[in-house]
Amino acid sequence: MRKPHAKTRPSGLRALDACGHGFWELNLLDGSAWFSDWFAAQLGWDPASMPTTWAALRNVLTPEAWDQVLSDMRAHLERREPFDVEVAVSAPDGVARCWRMRGEAERNDVGQAHYFSGGVADVSAAYDAAAAVHRELALLDRGFEALPTAAALLDARGHILRCNGSWRASGAPSDRDYFAASSEAGQMSVEAAAELESGLREVLGGTRGEYANTHEIVTAERRRRLRVRARPFEVEGARRLAVVHEEP
């Protein structure tokens, strides 16, 4: 079924505008474009004389964003790749924004695209929140790396997510399953490895507040005692475990 012409206001569009997103349609046959009133509110366009060409977006997107939009459009129209891109917006009010643009082409029976339409969501808040989390994690990483104690972060499966320099220098496993590495022959007895895994899984499961125990480690160089301490924490609802190795 063919869509209405881009310049015709479809029935029910007011309801779509109320959802808080913008909508657009590009007529590939005559090059005209239609934008919903959301764009006027976001960009200061006059609702009575809305732009009618796709190039109007070039003035509100950063040069890099405009190039990305054109590149992704071409990939969608020529190779049917998904059109789903986040772009930086140069709004008239000077406030930095981020839009997520998604769309799909309508094609005729032989696959030729006639219309290209979609929506825009302002994802600035989510983008800013993600950037803030990234900054906090960067600070955490620097502090984590500066710890004089060998420390590592494990996920709910017991896989090592990250470890600091002291941990790596001690020869502890740094890029795999912590439980499997602990039970390897010549490192820790089977009984000790089983007790360690059981205790840490109890902490991860929430049935135990923290873990602390001393184990005997056997390496090619020497036999030594290793105190393992662990406490749980959560990151965006996901259970994590901080593990510390100390030599008593």
The domain ranges of the chain are 13-128, 147-246
pLDDT at 9: 54
Q: How much is the average pLDDT of 96-123?
A: 91
Residue scoring higher pLDDT (184 or 109): 109
Please check the confidence at residue 140 and state whether its pLDDT lies above 70.
Answer: no
Q: Are 190 and 199 in contact (CB under 8 A)?
A: no
Q: How many angstroms separate the CA atoms of 178 and 203, rounded?
A: 15
CATH topology of domain 147-246: Beta-Lactamase (3.30.450)
Helices (H), 149-244: 165-169, 178-182, 190-205
**Residue in 51, 35, 29, 54 with CA at minimum distance from that of residue 115:** 29
Greatest mean pLDDT range, 16-20, 125-129, 192-196: 192-196
Alpha carbon distances (Å) from 7 to 55, 106, 151: 16, 16, 62
User: Cα(4)–Cα(23) distance, rounded to whole angstroms?
Assistant: 14
pLDDT band at residue 18 under the 50/70/90 scheme = low
Report whether 50 contacts 40 (CB < 8 A): yes
- The band of 132, judged by pLDDT with boundaries at 50, 70 and 90, is low
| Encoded amino acid at 47, one letter | P
Going by pLDDT thresholds of 50, 70 and 90, the confidence category of residue 105 is very high
Confidence of residue 203 (pLDDT cuts 50, 70, 90): very high
Residue, of 192 and 72, whose pLDDT is higher: 72
More confident residue, 184 or 197: 197
φ and ψ of 214, to 5 deg = -110, 130
Neighbouring CB atoms inside 10 A of 226's CB total 21
Spatial CA neighbour of 64 closest among 89, 33, 82, 81: 89
Mean pLDDT of the 28-57 span: 91
What is the CATH topology of the domain spanning 13-128? Beta-Lactamase (3.30.450)
User: In Å, how far are 36, 42, 103, 182 from 39, measured between CA atoms?
Assistant: 6, 5, 16, 58
Q: Name the pTM for this structure.
A: 0.51
Are the C-beta atoms of residues 60 and 41 closer than 8 Å to each other?
no
Query: Bigger pLDDT: 92 or 25?
Result: 25
Mean residue pLDDT across the chain:
81
Which two three-digit tokens encode residue 176? 């795999």
